[in-house]
Structure 1
Amino acid sequence: MIKNNLKTSILQCIKCNGGLIAEVDAYKCRDCGAIFPIVNDIPMFVEDTKYYGDMPSEEMEILLQRMSNEPWRDVIDEMISNKNPWLYFIMTEETRTDWQFLFSLDKNSLVLEVGAGHGTSTIAMARRAKVIAIDGTYHRLAFLKIRCEQEGVKDVSLAGMNILKNPLCNNLFDLVTLNGVLEWVGASVNERDPEKLQIQALRECHRVLKPGGKLYIGIENSHAFRYLLGAPDDHVGIPHISYLKREDANNLMKKLTGQEYRTYLYDKKGYQELLTNAGFSEEKIEFFYPVEDYKKLRYILPLNNYNISRFFHKYLDANKEELSMEQNVKELELKSLENGDIDSFVSSYIIIAEK
């Protein structure tokens, strides 16, 4: 069984920053008396517990019920593999987490995974390090708990937390990960400017990192060639919206959906500015080009050495049969390599920032 093992020594009250006392079924603040329940051995520090997931909540309930008596892989093979192949890939393909090998981790390392989702990255990292996996949705954490138990993964602590308002103390982690998370921060809160919320989230990551600790971000590029060529935005499904001025993007989003545009993406310069505003030094920020992208990882190319990217396009990727959009992107990337500006147009980034 995966038991709750979050020690009070690394926690503080999200309401008053007071110390917490561990009780049988809750954490209690010794100063203001706030109660944070422990549900199914998962402590919940989130105030908004509404469901969020890649499938309807009713289906998720059925999935969890079946997983309590059947192997989790058998359940998703039957319920998800044919119905939603992309979700099945996200849930099962551990090569998506090969970016972890950019970091020196061992069993003494402590990792904070923000937005654990279905736990594919959690499981992979927990084979090398201790992981605290947080998510805002209880159902996802319950899924991950069963998955860890069935796979015999023990170095994982689960908690319901929002990175914007989390109970973790300062200077704890060797690595904090935001894999496909930063762009959603602005959509998790309906008020306040999305960019300011993203900076707040990054400041929280900076706060909980040890000196010398590192932040990993996997995220799309707002000015990717594929977006410029008309590929739909990965988050709202609207072509060309990611690189528009915020006011224009918001007007387009409202016209087509009736909702605000809040899943902000940036180019390389924009991400550098976000990170420096959050306290990271520009000299300690590195950018990589994940191929095909950070969600479907085959290669990781450093963006400070174009010779490696040229070698990749000329030799490693030379004979690949591609769809027209992919072929157009490849040709544009080759031209941008000649001009020395590929950094601005790659599909997505892996970003590493050191505290």
Structure 2
Amino acid sequence: MERNKVKLNLSYYKGIDYYSDGEVEDELLEIVRNYNSYDKILHNNERWPILYHLSPIRWNLLEWYPFDKEASLLEIGAGCGALTGLFCKQVNQVTAVELSRKRAEIISERCKDHDNLEILVGNMEDIRFEKKFDFITLIGVLEYAGKYISGPQPHKKFIELVRSFLKPNGTLIIAIENKFGLKYWAGAREDHSGKLFESIEGYLDNDGVETFSRMELEELLIASGMTNNQFYYPLPDYKLPNQIYSDHYLPKPGAARITPNYDRNRYLMFNEQSTFNQIVENNQFPFFANSFLTFSRQGDE
């Protein structure tokens, strides 16, 4: 029997999986146990959880980034390990934190050949680390702080907590939806609630999940002690990106098409591509980008 090299740490697990995609996670566990390649599965299956968790396109988000091969990385909210394997290839030591034991088992199975990975199952507020990290990632995680971090200003508190685990010259990497993303104006439903225009209207009736504009996110980072922030813009979004732009290289007209909503139906309120071209020509792309990818450091370097 093939040996699993991953260390699965249940010291902080309280016996409850607080976050789950439901029964499909049992299916995902069987898939990663029995298949080395997911191409055939993805070709024959149109369900969003299968695509989101298993698509190799997920790696486009950070496969290009020049990680230090000798670095340590803390992946918070690792999900079902869509990016964990990439991190294991790119840095020396990876620590993944996940609320769900089932998801942690999925990560362990799909990364079983990596001997530089430890998975901690539990809530970040309960976990104590004996070391600090060169990189910390929050990929699709910050927006949930209101659900899992206690007290006022949970997003600020969460970033401050995460910052305490960074080395003095470490980098915090965040990927998150833009509350004013063009796709939401054009008829796509809010990614988390499925409601039309919820983020644009300011989350008038939200359940603790909240995304931010570029200005709000930058202000939140600075208020939390992360004063050096670089913004990138994945298209169509950070989940399945095929293009990534920066403030130094913004898109030209014609770079975008209609943004798909793989997990639910969407409306077409107007010609999204023509509107995108107008936004780009008027230098407003950073405000309307669907997602942000940020690299944040302490200090001015």
Q: TM-score range by the shorter chain?
A: 0.7 to 0.9
Structure with greater Cα Rg: 1
The residue that corresponds to 2:293 in the other structure is 350
Deviation sequence 1:78-126 (CA, Å, 0-9, x none): 7x87565322222222331233245432441101111111112001111
- Cα drift, residue 192 of structure 1: 4.0
Unaligned 5+ segments in structure 2 are 261-266
SS in 2 for 1:271: helix
> What residue is the counterpart of 1:272 in the other structure?
218
* Alignment partners' CA distance in 1, 2:171 and 2:38: 36
TM-aligned CA distance change 1:322 to 1:271, over 3 Å: closer
- The answer to which structure has the higher helix fraction is 1
Q: Determine whether 1:303 maps to 2:263.
A: no
Q: Distance in 1 between matches of 2:28 and 2:181?
A: 36
Cα offset for 1:288? 1.1
1:292 is matched with: 236
- Secondary structure in 1 aligned to 2:109? helix
Corresponding residue SS for 1:127: helix
SS, match of residue 218 in structure 1 = strand
Per-residue CA deviation, residues 302-350 of structure 1 (Å, 9 max, x unaligned), is: 12444xx11xx34xx48x6888849833322221222222211111111
SS in 2 for 1:133: strand
- CA distance in 1 between counterparts of 2:124 and 2:159 reads 9
1:133 equivalenced with 2:76 (yes/no): no
Which residue in 2 is equivalent to 1:43? 10
2:154 aligned with 1:197: yes
The SS at the match of 2:271 is helix
Alignment: residue pair count: 289
Instruction: Check whether the contact 2:6–2:117 (CA below 8 A) recurs between aligned residues.
Output: no
Q: Is the 8 A contact 1:224 1:345 kept in 2?
A: yes
Secondary structure at the aligned position of 1:296 is classed as coil
Deviation at residue 228 of structure 1 after TM alignment: 1.9
User: Residue type of the partner of 2:176?
Assistant: I
Q: Which residue of 2 aligns with 1:177?
A: 137
Aligned structure 1 segments of 4 or more residues deviating by more than 6 angstroms = 74-78, 320-324
CA RMSD of aligned residues (A): 3.0
Report the equivalent of 1:209.
166
Matching residue of 2:49: 87
Distance verdict in 2 for CA 1:75–1:345, change over 3 Å: closer
TM-score, scaled relative to structure 1? 0.72
Q: Which structure has the higher relative contact order (CA within 8 Å, separation 6+)? A: 2
Aligned counterpart, 1:145: 108
Structure 2 match to 1:97: 59
Conserved 8 A contact 1:333-1:346: no
Q: Is the 1:76–1:88 Cα contact (8 Å) retained in structure 2?
A: no
